[in-house]
Protein backbone atom coordinates (compact mmCIF):
# COMPACT_ATOMS: atom_id res chain seq x y z
CA UNK A 1 0.00 0.00 0.00
CA UNK A 2 2.84 2.40 0.90
CA UNK A 3 4.64 1.57 -2.35
CA UNK A 4 1.45 2.19 -4.31
CA UNK A 5 1.19 5.66 -2.74
CA UNK A 6 4.79 6.42 -3.62
CA UNK A 7 4.25 5.20 -7.17
CA UNK A 8 1.08 7.28 -7.45
CA UNK A 9 2.87 10.42 -6.24
CA UNK A 10 5.78 9.79 -8.58
CA UNK A 11 3.52 9.33 -11.57
CA UNK A 12 1.55 12.44 -10.65
CA UNK A 13 4.72 14.51 -10.32
CA UNK A 14 6.04 13.09 -13.60
CA UNK A 15 2.87 14.03 -15.47
CA UNK A 16 2.79 17.50 -13.90
CA UNK A 17 6.44 18.13 -14.81
CA UNK A 18 5.87 17.00 -18.39
CA UNK A 19 2.89 19.31 -18.61
CA UNK A 20 4.95 22.31 -17.46
CA UNK A 21 7.86 21.50 -19.77
CA UNK A 22 5.54 21.08 -22.71
CA UNK A 23 4.57 24.74 -22.40
CA UNK A 24 7.49 26.72 -23.74
CA UNK A 25 6.29 30.03 -22.32
CA UNK A 26 4.18 30.65 -19.24
CA UNK A 27 1.91 33.48 -18.12
CA UNK A 28 3.33 35.88 -15.56
CA UNK A 29 6.17 38.34 -15.34
CA UNK A 30 9.45 36.45 -15.43
CA UNK A 31 12.49 38.63 -14.67
CA UNK A 32 14.88 36.08 -16.20
CA UNK A 33 12.85 36.00 -19.40
CA UNK A 34 12.66 39.79 -19.56
CA UNK A 35 16.41 40.06 -18.94
CA UNK A 36 17.24 37.70 -21.80
CA UNK A 37 14.92 39.62 -24.11
CA UNK A 38 16.53 42.91 -23.09
CA UNK A 39 19.96 41.53 -23.96
CA UNK A 40 18.87 40.59 -27.46
CA UNK A 41 17.06 43.91 -27.83
CA UNK A 42 20.37 45.65 -27.12
CA UNK A 43 21.68 44.03 -30.30
CA UNK A 44 18.57 45.01 -32.24
CA UNK A 45 19.32 48.61 -31.41
CA UNK A 46 23.03 48.32 -32.25
CA UNK A 47 24.76 48.36 -35.60
CA UNK A 48 26.60 45.17 -34.59
CA UNK A 49 27.43 43.08 -31.54
CA UNK A 50 30.84 44.76 -31.49
CA UNK A 51 29.50 48.31 -31.20
CA UNK A 52 30.53 50.33 -28.17
CA UNK A 53 27.00 50.13 -26.74
CA UNK A 54 26.60 46.38 -27.29
CA UNK A 55 29.97 45.64 -25.69
CA UNK A 56 28.64 46.89 -22.35
CA UNK A 57 26.26 43.93 -22.10
CA UNK A 58 26.38 40.16 -22.02
CA UNK A 59 25.28 38.32 -25.13
CA UNK A 60 21.94 36.48 -25.05
CA UNK A 61 22.46 32.95 -23.77
CA UNK A 62 19.32 31.18 -24.95
CA UNK A 63 18.41 32.81 -28.25
CA UNK A 64 20.08 33.11 -31.63
CA UNK A 65 19.17 35.56 -34.37
CA UNK A 66 17.70 34.03 -37.52
CA UNK A 67 16.61 37.16 -39.41
CA UNK A 68 17.10 40.93 -39.49
CA UNK A 69 14.64 43.01 -41.43
CA UNK A 70 15.63 45.76 -43.83
CA UNK A 71 15.25 49.30 -42.53
CA UNK A 72 11.76 50.51 -43.40
CA UNK A 73 9.20 53.21 -42.71
CA UNK A 74 10.48 55.85 -40.32
CA UNK A 75 13.86 54.15 -39.77
CA UNK A 76 12.20 51.07 -38.27
CA UNK A 77 13.71 47.60 -37.97
CA UNK A 78 13.07 44.31 -36.21
CA UNK A 79 15.01 41.14 -35.46
CA UNK A 80 13.74 37.55 -35.40
CA UNK A 81 15.31 35.27 -32.78
CA UNK A 82 14.68 31.62 -31.89
CA UNK A 83 15.23 29.42 -28.83
CA UNK A 84 15.73 25.67 -29.16
CA UNK A 85 13.25 25.42 -32.00
CA UNK A 86 10.42 26.02 -29.49
CA UNK A 87 10.09 29.76 -28.90
CA UNK A 88 10.64 32.72 -31.20
CA UNK A 89 11.28 36.32 -30.18
CA UNK A 90 10.32 39.45 -32.09
CA UNK A 91 12.58 42.35 -31.10
CA UNK A 92 11.61 45.88 -32.16
CA UNK A 93 14.21 48.61 -32.52
CA UNK A 94 13.71 51.86 -30.62
CA UNK A 95 14.54 55.42 -31.59
CA UNK A 96 17.81 55.89 -33.47
CA UNK A 97 19.95 58.97 -34.01
CA UNK A 98 18.33 59.45 -37.40
CA UNK A 99 16.05 62.51 -37.51
CA UNK A 100 13.40 60.45 -39.32
CA UNK A 101 13.25 58.10 -36.33
CA UNK A 102 12.56 61.04 -34.04
CA UNK A 103 9.90 62.20 -36.46
CA UNK A 104 7.98 59.01 -35.69
CA UNK A 105 7.84 60.15 -32.04
CA UNK A 106 6.93 63.77 -32.68
CA UNK A 107 4.19 62.93 -35.17
CA UNK A 108 1.96 62.53 -32.15
CA UNK A 109 -1.57 63.35 -33.27
CA UNK A 110 -4.17 60.71 -32.50
CA UNK A 111 -6.05 58.60 -35.03
CA UNK A 112 -8.86 56.06 -34.47
CA UNK A 113 -7.96 52.71 -32.90
CA UNK A 114 -9.12 50.91 -36.03
CA UNK A 115 -9.10 51.98 -39.65
CA UNK A 116 -6.80 52.23 -42.64
CA UNK A 117 -3.81 54.43 -43.40
CA UNK A 118 -1.95 54.93 -46.68
CA UNK A 119 1.73 54.31 -45.92
CA UNK A 120 3.13 55.01 -49.39
CA UNK A 121 2.37 54.79 -53.11
CA UNK A 122 1.90 51.03 -53.02
CA UNK A 123 0.82 50.11 -49.52
CA UNK A 124 -2.19 50.61 -47.27
CA UNK A 125 -2.26 49.36 -43.69
CA UNK A 126 -5.68 48.24 -42.51
CA UNK A 127 -5.35 47.95 -38.77
CA UNK A 128 -7.37 47.08 -35.72
CA UNK A 129 -5.74 47.92 -32.42
CA UNK A 130 -9.01 48.20 -30.50
CA UNK A 131 -12.71 47.50 -30.84
CA UNK A 132 -13.80 50.37 -28.61
CA UNK A 133 -15.30 53.10 -30.85
CA UNK A 134 -13.54 55.88 -28.92
CA UNK A 135 -10.11 54.25 -28.82
CA UNK A 136 -7.35 56.38 -30.35
CA UNK A 137 -3.62 55.82 -30.88
CA UNK A 138 -0.40 57.63 -31.83
CA UNK A 139 -0.19 58.16 -35.60
CA UNK A 140 3.63 58.07 -35.90
CA UNK A 141 3.90 54.70 -34.19
CA UNK A 142 0.95 53.41 -36.23
CA UNK A 143 2.96 54.13 -39.39
CA UNK A 144 5.96 52.30 -37.93
CA UNK A 145 3.78 49.36 -36.90
CA UNK A 146 2.24 49.20 -40.38
CA UNK A 147 5.60 48.83 -42.09
CA UNK A 148 6.89 46.28 -39.59
CA UNK A 149 3.67 44.26 -39.50
CA UNK A 150 3.82 43.63 -43.25
CA UNK A 151 7.22 42.02 -42.74
CA UNK A 152 6.52 40.28 -39.42
CA UNK A 153 3.22 38.60 -40.33
CA UNK A 154 4.64 36.36 -43.12
CA UNK A 155 7.49 35.31 -40.82
CA UNK A 156 5.03 34.28 -38.09
CA UNK A 157 3.01 32.24 -40.56
CA UNK A 158 6.13 30.57 -41.92
CA UNK A 159 7.42 29.69 -38.45
CA UNK A 160 4.00 28.36 -37.45
CA UNK A 161 4.16 25.95 -40.38
CA UNK A 162 7.53 24.84 -39.01
CA UNK A 163 5.94 24.05 -35.64
CA UNK A 164 6.53 27.26 -33.65
CA UNK A 165 3.48 28.30 -31.64
CA UNK A 166 5.05 30.58 -29.01
CA UNK A 167 6.27 34.12 -29.69
CA UNK A 168 7.78 36.64 -27.30
CA UNK A 169 7.64 40.33 -28.22
CA UNK A 170 10.13 42.85 -26.82
CA UNK A 171 10.58 46.54 -27.50
CA UNK A 172 12.40 49.23 -25.55
CA UNK A 173 11.57 52.95 -25.72
CA UNK A 174 9.96 53.67 -29.11
CA UNK A 175 10.19 49.93 -29.69
CA UNK A 176 8.03 49.44 -26.61
CA UNK A 177 5.36 51.79 -27.95
CA UNK A 178 5.35 49.92 -31.27
CA UNK A 179 5.16 46.62 -29.36
CA UNK A 180 1.87 47.74 -27.81
CA UNK A 181 0.32 48.32 -31.21
CA UNK A 182 1.88 45.22 -32.76
CA UNK A 183 0.53 43.06 -29.94
CA UNK A 184 -2.95 44.54 -30.24
CA UNK A 185 -2.91 44.02 -34.02
CA UNK A 186 -1.76 40.40 -33.74
CA UNK A 187 -4.39 39.51 -31.17
CA UNK A 188 -7.23 40.96 -33.24
CA UNK A 189 -5.78 39.21 -36.30
CA UNK A 190 -6.16 35.96 -34.38
CA UNK A 191 -9.76 36.74 -33.51
CA UNK A 192 -10.48 37.49 -37.16
CA UNK A 193 -8.87 34.22 -38.30
CA UNK A 194 -5.94 35.85 -40.12
CA UNK A 195 -3.43 33.87 -38.06
CA UNK A 196 -3.92 30.61 -36.11
CA UNK A 197 -5.74 30.89 -32.79
CA UNK A 198 -3.32 28.53 -31.01
CA UNK A 199 -0.32 30.85 -31.42
CA UNK A 200 0.63 32.34 -28.04
CA UNK A 201 2.04 35.86 -27.79
CA UNK A 202 3.69 37.28 -24.69
CA UNK A 203 4.79 40.90 -24.68
CA UNK A 204 7.24 43.03 -22.72
CA UNK A 205 6.92 46.75 -23.49
CA UNK A 206 9.99 48.25 -21.84
CA UNK A 207 10.51 51.98 -21.12
CA UNK A 208 7.59 52.58 -23.47
CA UNK A 209 5.88 55.93 -24.01
CA UNK A 210 2.09 56.10 -23.78
CA UNK A 211 0.59 54.49 -26.93
CA UNK A 212 -2.94 55.85 -26.98
CA UNK A 213 -5.88 57.21 -25.04
CA UNK A 214 -7.77 55.76 -22.10
CA UNK A 215 -10.21 53.86 -24.31
CA UNK A 216 -7.33 52.16 -26.13
CA UNK A 217 -5.85 51.23 -22.74
CA UNK A 218 -9.20 49.80 -21.59
CA UNK A 219 -9.49 47.74 -24.77
CA UNK A 220 -5.87 46.53 -24.64
CA UNK A 221 -6.15 45.45 -21.01
CA UNK A 222 -9.53 43.77 -21.48
CA UNK A 223 -8.43 41.91 -24.61
CA UNK A 224 -5.17 40.45 -23.26
CA UNK A 225 -5.46 37.73 -20.62
CA UNK A 226 -3.72 38.17 -17.30
CA UNK A 227 -0.02 37.39 -17.42
CA UNK A 228 0.58 37.76 -21.16
CA UNK A 229 1.61 41.41 -21.57
CA UNK A 230 3.65 43.73 -19.38
CA UNK A 231 4.75 47.35 -19.29
CA UNK A 232 8.12 47.66 -17.50
CA UNK A 233 8.99 51.13 -16.21
CA UNK A 234 11.94 52.65 -14.38
CA UNK A 235 10.28 55.12 -11.99
CA UNK A 236 13.09 57.62 -12.66
CA UNK A 237 12.63 57.51 -16.45
CA UNK A 238 10.83 60.45 -18.10
CA UNK A 239 10.14 58.75 -21.45
CA UNK A 240 7.13 56.70 -20.20
CA UNK A 241 5.54 60.04 -19.27
CA UNK A 242 5.41 61.08 -22.93
CA UNK A 243 3.76 62.11 -25.26
CA UNK A 244 2.31 65.38 -23.98
CA UNK A 245 -1.18 64.71 -22.69
CA UNK A 246 -4.11 67.06 -22.24
CA UNK A 247 -7.46 65.86 -20.95
CA UNK A 248 -10.49 67.92 -21.86
CA UNK A 249 -14.16 67.58 -21.03
CA UNK A 250 -14.75 65.81 -24.36
CA UNK A 251 -12.41 62.98 -23.29
CA UNK A 252 -14.72 61.83 -20.48
CA UNK A 253 -17.21 59.00 -20.78
CA UNK A 254 -20.83 59.95 -21.39
CA UNK A 255 -22.86 60.74 -19.39
CA UNK A 256 -20.88 62.99 -17.04
CA UNK A 257 -21.75 66.11 -15.03
CA UNK A 258 -19.76 68.38 -17.35
CA UNK A 259 -21.78 67.42 -20.44
CA UNK A 260 -24.94 68.80 -18.87
CA UNK A 261 -23.30 71.94 -17.49
CA UNK A 262 -25.28 74.40 -19.63
CA UNK A 263 -28.61 72.76 -18.79
CA UNK A 264 -27.78 72.66 -15.09
CA UNK A 265 -26.73 76.31 -15.05
CA UNK A 266 -30.03 77.45 -16.56
CA UNK A 267 -31.72 76.34 -13.35
CA UNK A 268 -29.51 78.62 -11.25
CA UNK A 269 -29.83 82.30 -10.44
CA UNK A 270 -28.21 84.76 -12.83
CA UNK A 271 -25.31 85.69 -10.56
CA UNK A 272 -24.59 82.01 -9.89
CA UNK A 273 -24.66 81.24 -13.63
CA UNK A 274 -22.24 84.04 -14.40
CA UNK A 275 -19.76 83.11 -11.67
CA UNK A 276 -19.79 79.37 -12.36
CA UNK A 277 -19.60 79.88 -16.15
CA UNK A 278 -16.65 82.26 -15.73
CA UNK A 279 -14.72 79.82 -13.53
CA UNK A 280 -15.58 76.85 -15.75
CA UNK A 281 -14.43 78.62 -18.91
CA UNK A 282 -11.21 79.70 -17.23
CA UNK A 283 -10.46 76.07 -16.42
CA UNK A 284 -11.74 74.44 -19.61
CA UNK A 285 -10.74 76.80 -22.41
CA UNK A 286 -6.94 76.57 -21.89
CA UNK A 287 -7.08 72.79 -22.26
CA UNK A 288 -9.05 73.13 -25.50
CA UNK A 289 -6.52 75.63 -26.88
CA UNK A 290 -3.64 73.35 -25.88
CA UNK A 291 -5.28 70.41 -27.64
CA UNK A 292 -5.66 72.47 -30.81
CA UNK A 293 -2.02 73.54 -30.72
CA UNK A 294 -0.80 69.98 -30.21
CA UNK A 295 -2.95 68.83 -33.11
CA UNK A 296 -1.57 71.61 -35.31
CA UNK A 297 2.13 71.13 -34.61
CA UNK A 298 2.27 67.41 -33.73
CA UNK A 299 -0.28 66.59 -36.42
CA UNK A 300 -0.48 68.68 -39.57
CA UNK A 301 2.97 70.28 -39.33
CA UNK A 302 4.68 66.97 -38.57
CA UNK A 303 2.73 65.25 -41.36
CA UNK A 304 4.39 67.58 -43.86
CA UNK A 305 7.80 66.21 -42.89
CA UNK A 306 6.51 62.63 -43.04
CA UNK A 307 5.31 63.18 -46.60
CA UNK A 308 8.82 64.24 -47.58
CA UNK A 309 10.22 60.96 -46.28
CA UNK A 310 7.47 58.53 -47.30
CA UNK A 311 6.49 59.02 -50.93
CA UNK A 312 2.76 58.66 -51.35
CA UNK A 313 1.92 58.91 -47.64
CA UNK A 314 -1.55 60.37 -47.10
CA UNK A 315 -2.33 62.33 -43.97
CA UNK A 316 -5.18 60.63 -42.09
CA UNK A 317 -8.07 62.22 -40.25
CA UNK A 318 -7.19 62.90 -36.63
CA UNK A 319 -9.15 62.30 -33.47
CA UNK A 320 -9.83 65.48 -31.49
CA UNK A 321 -7.93 64.30 -28.42
CA UNK A 322 -4.46 64.24 -26.90
CA UNK A 323 -5.38 62.32 -23.76
CA UNK A 324 -2.46 59.87 -23.74
CA UNK A 325 -2.28 57.35 -20.89
CA UNK A 326 -0.11 54.36 -20.06
CA UNK A 327 -1.52 50.90 -20.73
CA UNK A 328 -1.13 47.32 -19.61
CA UNK A 329 -0.03 45.52 -16.46
CA UNK A 330 2.86 47.62 -15.14
CA UNK A 331 6.03 46.37 -13.47
CA UNK A 332 7.65 49.29 -11.66
CA UNK A 333 11.42 49.22 -11.19
CA UNK A 334 11.96 51.52 -8.20
CA UNK A 335 15.34 53.26 -7.79
CA UNK A 336 17.09 53.09 -4.42
CA UNK A 337 20.20 54.73 -2.94
CA UNK A 338 22.76 52.43 -4.63
CA UNK A 339 21.02 52.98 -7.97
CA UNK A 340 20.96 56.77 -7.50
CA UNK A 341 24.64 56.71 -6.63
CA UNK A 342 25.45 54.93 -9.88
CA UNK A 343 22.95 56.86 -12.00
CA UNK A 344 22.67 60.35 -10.49
CA UNK A 345 20.06 62.51 -12.18
CA UNK A 346 21.71 65.01 -14.49
CA UNK A 347 19.89 67.47 -16.74
CA UNK A 348 22.84 67.30 -19.13
CA UNK A 349 22.13 63.59 -19.64
CA UNK A 350 18.41 63.27 -20.30
CA UNK A 351 18.58 59.53 -21.01
CA UNK A 352 20.60 58.42 -17.98
CA UNK A 353 17.59 56.52 -16.57
CA UNK A 354 16.21 55.35 -19.90
CA UNK A 355 18.69 53.02 -21.57
CA UNK A 356 18.94 49.25 -21.16
CA UNK A 357 21.60 49.22 -18.42
CA UNK A 358 19.71 51.11 -15.67
CA UNK A 359 16.67 48.93 -16.35
CA UNK A 360 18.73 45.75 -16.03
CA UNK A 361 20.33 46.98 -12.81
CA UNK A 362 16.96 47.68 -11.23
CA UNK A 363 15.67 44.33 -12.48
CA UNK A 364 18.20 42.59 -10.22
CA UNK A 365 16.60 44.29 -7.22
CA UNK A 366 13.14 42.80 -7.70
CA UNK A 367 12.19 40.76 -4.64
CA UNK A 368 10.16 38.33 -6.72
CA UNK A 369 11.92 37.44 -9.99
CA UNK A 370 8.95 35.39 -11.13
CA UNK A 371 5.37 36.52 -10.67
CA UNK A 372 3.06 33.97 -12.21
CA UNK A 373 -0.46 34.85 -13.18
CA UNK A 374 -3.20 32.97 -11.36
CA UNK A 375 -4.22 30.00 -13.46
CA UNK A 376 -7.84 30.13 -14.47
CA UNK A 377 -10.14 31.30 -17.20
CA UNK A 378 -8.17 34.54 -17.69
CA UNK A 379 -4.71 32.95 -17.94
CA UNK A 380 -4.98 31.44 -21.40
CA UNK A 381 -3.84 33.64 -24.29
Least confidently predicted of 263-272, 324-333, 335-344: 263-272
CA 376-378-381 angle, 5° bins: 110
Q: Please say whether the dihedral angle defined by the alpha carbons of residues 95, 248, 181 and 169, taken in this order, is positive or negative.
A: positive
Q: How confident is the model at residue 259, as a pLDDT?
A: 64
- What is the C-alpha separation between 109 and 102, in angstroms, rounded? 14
Beta strands in 113-248 (DSSP E): 114-120, 123-128, 136-138, 166-172, 200-206, 212-213, 229-234
165 touches 92 (CB < 8 A): no
205 touches 122 (CB < 8 A): no
Task: Summarize pLDDT for 203-214 with one digit per residue, the tens.
Answer: 999 999 999 999
Q: How confident is the model at residue 58 (pLDDT cuts 50, 70, 90)?
A: very high
Task: Summarize pLDDT for 12-40 with one digit per residue, the tens.
Answer: 444 443 444 345 899 999 999 999 999 99
Least confidently predicted of 51-55, 248-252, 261-265: 261-265
What's the CATH superfamily of 27-371?
Alpha/Beta hydrolase fold, catalytic domain (3.40.50.1820)
166 touches 91 (CB < 8 A): no
- What is the C-alpha separation between 277 and 271, in angstroms, rounded? 10
Q: How confident is the model at residue 169, as a pLDDT?
A: 98
Q: What is the pTM of this model?
A: 0.88
Task: Summarize pLDDT for 143-177 with one digit per residue, the tens.
Answer: 999 999 999 999 999 999 999 999 999 999 999 99
Amino acid sequence: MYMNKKLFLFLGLFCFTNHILSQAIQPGFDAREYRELMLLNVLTGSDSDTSAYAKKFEKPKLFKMIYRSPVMGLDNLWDHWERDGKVDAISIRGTTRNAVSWLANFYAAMIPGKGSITLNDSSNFTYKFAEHPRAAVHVGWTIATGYLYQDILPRIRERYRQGIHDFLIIGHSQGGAISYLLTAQLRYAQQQGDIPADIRFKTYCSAAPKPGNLFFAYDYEANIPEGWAYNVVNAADWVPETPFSVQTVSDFNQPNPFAGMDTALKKQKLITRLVVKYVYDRLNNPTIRSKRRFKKYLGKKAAGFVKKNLKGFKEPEYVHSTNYVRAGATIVLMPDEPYNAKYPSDNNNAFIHHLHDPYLLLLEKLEKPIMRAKLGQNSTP
